[in-house]
Amino acid sequence: MQTSTKIGLALTVVCSVALLFSVYVMAGRVAAYYRANPASQWHFENQINRSFTAYGRTVKVEDLPPDPVREAAGVGQVRVTYGEQTLRLNVNKPVVPSFDDLTVYAENLAVLMYSPIEAGQLRMDEAGVAQARWVIINRRSAPGYSPETWGSVRVRDWLFDVIELQPDGTINTTVMQFPAKDRRTNELFVPALREDPNANVSMIPERSWQWGAALWAVPKSQISRYRFRTDAVAGTDGSNGMGWTLPAAAFSTMGLFAGVGLLMASRVRRTPGTTQTPAPRPA
């Protein structure tokens, strides 16, 4: 047996075993990761009417008269009325003020009814009614930047007003922001808190209803950038990702191909005593 054949056979066997083992361990780690971090699913319905009913109370979303200072900065205002509660919101100025419905605020402001999904169906309460909640999502540009110019470019600095309409008739407002990832430490952080540690801004948790709801107020051209920063490859602090199994599987695959290549090359034999006769040159 030729030396190349021995090396190719040994490389093929060793790399095959290493590949099978690393893939087996990898599959176990991925399964464990998703058991510890199950993917939440939510059903959203976009309400475009300016007046509707939530929890038996009337909800109205009305444009307020334009303010010259805000108009110059590309900012408008709306008033949200929920039963006896009212709330004013600074919004990105619509193209057509006081339009009949909320479609004029598409990709900036959204009124949503959402429900959790379990086993492919809406989660029901004891009475068999879907557990629906109401939320208003309002996207704002970073402070100091016009939404019509630099505010539309500084995507990482966008802020989101998450306004929950509670069943008891109250309004709960939280300012949130999509997380960014530090390239040096791989840790997630809130960009607004890097600028101002005292800012009252919370991180939008991955795989949460807030994450899904906020995407309704984001331009469709930007949705693809909002991927989960934590996944089964890198893992989290509480659950391991693929870790060493991923490079082990990759190097084992390359070694397997190299071993098979050596085995195939060793089977190529030249017939003894044969030579190539050069073609005669024309006179």
Nearest-10 crossing angle of helices 3-36, 245-266:
160
Q: What is the pLDDT of residue 63?
A: 92
At which residue do the structure tokens 């199994």 appear?
A: 245
* Cα 252 to Cα 241: distance, rounded to the nearest angstrom: 19
Q: What is the pLDDT of residue 262?
A: 81
For residues 55, 113, 125 and 174, what is the CA-based torsion angle, rounded to 10 degrees? -80
State residue 40's pLDDT score.
72
Q: Give the pLDDT score at 67.
A: 78
Gap between the Cα atoms of 254 and 151, Å rounded: 47
At 136 the pLDDT is 96
Please report the DSSP string for 62-117 in residue order: EEPPP-HHHHHTTEEEEEEEETTEEEEEEEEPPSSTT-SSGGGGTTTEEEEEEEEE
In degrees and rounded to multiples of 5, residue 67 shows phi and psi of: -110, 130
Over its C-alpha atoms, the chain yields an Rg (Å, rounded) of 30
- The secondary element (H helix, E strand) that includes residue 260 is helix 245-266
pLDDT beneath 70, residues of the chain: 1, 38-39, 72, 119-130, 145-153, 229-232, 234-239, 268-283
Instruction: Report the distance separating Cα 109 and Cα 101, nearest Å.
Output: 12
The predicted structure's pLDDT at residue 272 = 60
Q: What is the DSSP string of 6-59?
A: HHHHHHHHHHHHHHHHHHHHHHHHHHHHHHHSPPPEEEEEEE--SEEEETTEEE
Query: What was the pLDDT predicted at 237?
Result: 59
Among the residues of 160-228, which ranges form H helices? 191-195, 209-214
pLDDT at position 173, please? 95
In the prediction, which pLDDT does 282 show? 64
Say which DSSP state 183 is in.
T
Sequence spans of domains, the chain: 3-35+239-266, 40-225
Do residues 43 and 115 make contact, with C-beta atoms less than 8 angstroms apart?
yes
* Distance between CA atoms of residues 94 and 58, nearest Å: 24
Residue 109, CB-side half-sphere exposure with 13 Å CA sphere:
28
The region that residue 223 occupies, defined by phi over 0 for left and psi between -120 and 50 for alpha, beta otherwise, is alpha
Q: In terms of pTM, does the model score above 0.75?
A: no
